Structure 1
């Protein structure tokens, strides 16, 4: 028999394994990734190990390993142990780490809710070729599990499950700088060869403010009860990168010969490569353009002053976690 000091050392090592968090809330919805109903708890408790079927989560395959008598503490109290195992870990690269936030669940037949079990004070665990399982050696005491008063066993069956949230090895890091009044932020642009008889969009030449290219887009309003009664004016970003969203706020002013008759609107929005316009569908009455000597269309040009008031600059990078 080994010396007592060595026995104490072994027990201490076992007790240093992940502990269960006892303060998680219960819930009525079942685990989203896997659930198993085990018939005959009596026979289950005779097994050394129960291994579940394989289930998929986060692009990887997993299974559960339940040891009905997996751990005995220094007082002689017996515990069930439950582990999450990665299937086919040899498919991982030698240095690849799959970080996972996992939870276990047991159904309580009295409250009709799922009791959640999670490691205490730990959010992510790394699975590798060498480390293929994580879990709770003291998942649930046998005494607690078997007692009818606790609701885990009913008619000799039990239900347990798992949720596995895989965290990718890299995450997107984004830095957003919101700039007020960027340099050289006021530009005059004309819609050349503008015609009130043209019902299709007409554009200005591109201009650069805040490091981005822009155009003005104008056309008769074509949606709703006021169709054709207003000039729609939009500020259009050019060449936005995929998955980037950029905020812009600007003043758009249509110039009249009589400057006291200028039409001005403030526009704003979050732009992307799929939604790169912000503006007003009712910028000004269409009839104002067609008034004799109205003063907005001069030598077939409709001129605007664009003032970029606020713009957000975004930088993105991948960061290992």
Structure 2
């Protein structure tokens, strides 16, 4: 940002944890300059409008909209009486993403018209200033002592003219992120009657059903899956979420109902479902010999009854929609 020299700590910043330092450099502010042709007219205008400060027009810097705020007699409410107070603030924060924050390196400028150089004020730590919904501006209530400012030998106010400016280098906050909430208990059950079981295809799906405001399906291999083919019935729960970028944690039970004595076959699982890992179950849920044995009570009149019960669920949400 140009050659700098002469450093000292001065001023009273917006946040008491901030410390403001001043350096001198030749290059002008890159983002915005406030040139005042008549300082006395500025004071007159503020007096006539019952205002303490002058706010600049909106300007863009680092992808955000900002304003400058100049208190030519000092910001009394922030211990700035007898000083020039000067701030910059983010404008129209309501248009920013939820829980927005901006990390910005901010430099405030006062022009020395005699030497053709600028007195530049910045955070002494050299770290970026964090702005958010609670802190929308940065600056100092004690930028310059008014005696120093009015002394013509210092060059800040010359022939009633003066100039201020700002330079802002901000890291754009995208608002992207995710939020993993605590799971909620839902205890929701879906029942699927698989009729004509013996005539079923190799792979069958249930209709889409809703649990926890999410879409699901049951996946059944009536004659077993891969190495379990001909040995075991294979059963799993599948997310039918349409988004390609989702995370859903679920605790659930799958069961095959015993239609004779109520002694159901039940298995319990938990899984973090995603687009690439969208189903979870058991290749060997239970022996096919038992399932097909009509005396066991699982397959009655060639109908198998399968239940899915989701007990707890947590959906990973985008931060912008939380």
Larger Rg: 2
Q: TM-score, normalised by structure 1?
A: 0.46
Tell me the TM-score normalized by structure 2. 0.46
